[in-house]
Amino acid sequence: MTKQEASAFLTSYMEKLSAYQCALSIMNFDQSTVAPKDGAPYRNKCVAILSGELFSHLTDPDAIAKLEAIVKMEDSDALDLINAKLLLKDLEELRFLPKPFYVAYQNCVGDASSAWEEAKKQNDYALFEPHLQKVITMLKESLSYLHSEKSDYEVLLDRFQPGMSMEAYDEFFALIKSRLLPFIKRLQKEGKPIDDTILHQHYDSAVQEQVMHDLQAYLHYDPRKIYMGVTMHPFTSKICADDTRLSTAYVEDNLVSSIFSIIHEYGHALYGMQVDRAYDGMPAGDSLSLGMHESQSRLLENNIGRRRAFWESNFPQLKNRFPEQLETLTLDDFIKLLHVSKPSLIRTEADELTYPIHILIRYELEKMIFNEDLPLEHLDKVWADKYEEYLGIRPSKPAEGILQDMHWANGMFGYFPTYALGSAFAAQFFAQMQKDIHVDEALKKGDFNIIMDWLKEHIHRYGATKTPEEIMMSVCGKPFDPNCYIDYLIETYSAYYGLDR
């Protein structure tokens, strides 16, 4: 195969792959937002069949042989080589699975997702438990085809954060437990209380939607490239560089829930839109790891979105939207309210300080499921026990406990740890951003393009052509250090709660 033939094959192979992924992403977004619920079983079957066709395309023996040949070629085009390696990485698991099994698994997770949504509405874990059991059983069976020397959970962790082992995660979460957890308990005991009841009045969802439009304008949200829907669990789907779908949820007794949801999801969207356009439709145009993607959503949500400078531009409009509820609230008091820390049950609404504890709990439960064969019949109770142990609170119903997240219904075990890892990446990236540009000055003036340009130049444009380790070194000049994240949290919350360091 010549260099030109290799490029021609890759172009054709990736274009068809991208077409399948485009269709499936749009169907998934539609399913989660506007699709009639009674049609879910039929749509799940269609998605499974289409996923099977994608599987056949991906795992075609001739195509795999050509990908392997490209990797071995001495004169391969540099971008072709990157794409071929990324495709083979994705195929490490798929290539060994029988197609009927793969299709059945896709149908299984589709049904499980529908069951999860209904179980959450009815507050009944028993409705979801058999579906969860089937997902895990099939997931374990799929991993048995690999004959890997790694444990099942190690393989799953690597799927979402390549190169990140369970040993490395154990060290990371041990640091969270040894440094952050004691500080959280000290803050709860010694910190000056902050009353945030003003944020939990009634805030009409229609007016909250107007707030979303205000924020979108400030964030340079381009409606020609981004569509926002409403769903039970906010998420983002990138179709291509010029088509990203994201969703939010409105909570009428929590003013800031939808605010930080949209800022978070926009971080994901911005990452996808600012990848070098030459990589559009290629594996090189994706993020190499979920930890990197989460670092961008958490950086916007927390490091940017909770800063006083951000709200100097946006707070006046927010007050105008809710004049009765916010009449007496000052900007300084509002910023303090954005840093309220107290034990809570819902991960997506957790404050920045306690958020990694929510992830720690899920990480420990996932290890118990895969390493210790934890029975699922009482998983809701084990979940509640963990919350009581670490945060001193206990869910009274499944919807605020084990049924709050949709990830496990989709078989996404190993994903949750990337949320905490991404938050830690974000703290280190943001520290460097503050050294390179005048962040607060840009935010006060509403020059959000300065923030966007820095992220594009240093992180986004590379897509999957650089590893997280390479990006961290090129941006910060030093390896990842989780202590930067923990120091940032302790320093920030000590200031707001009047604690001496």
By the 8 A CB rule, do 257 and 210 touch?
no
Residue 498 β-bridge partners: none
Distance of CA 354 to the CA centre of its chain: 17
Rounded Cα distance between 419 and 377, Å, is: 27
CB-CB contact of 410 with 115 (8 Å): no
Cα Rg of the chain (Å, integer)? 23
DSSP letters for 256-289: HHHHHHHHHHHHHHHHHHTS-GGGTTSGGGS-S-
Phi first, then psi, for residue 447 (nearest 5°) are: -85, 65
Phi and psi at 214, nearest 5°, equal: -60, -45
- Which of 129, 154, 265, 366 is labelled catalytic? 265
CA dist 76 and 4 (Å) reads: 9
Report which DSSP code applies to 337.
H
Rounded CA separation 42/63 (Å): 31
Environment class of residue 501 by beta-carbon count within 10 Å: exposed (0-12), middle (13-18) or buried (19+)? exposed
Inter-axis angle of helices 125-144 and 99-122, nearest 10: 160
Residue 96: DSSP 8-state: T
Identify whether the C-beta of residue 377 lies closer than 8 Å to the C-beta of residue 435: no
Q: Is 150 helix (H, G, I), strand (E, B) or coil?
A: coil
Residue-by-residue DSSP string for 155-222: HHHHHHSTT--HHHHHHHHHHIIIIIHHHHHHHHHHSPP---GGGGS---HHHHHHHHHHHHHHTT--
Residue 265 bears catalytic tag: yes
C-alpha pair distances (Å), 189 with each of 178, 335, 394: 17, 22, 19
Beta bridge partners of 238: 244
Buried b (16+ CB within 10 A) or exposed e, 357-392: bbbbbbbbbbbbbbeeeeebeebbebbbebbeebbe
What amino acid positions are annotated as catalytic residues?
A: 265
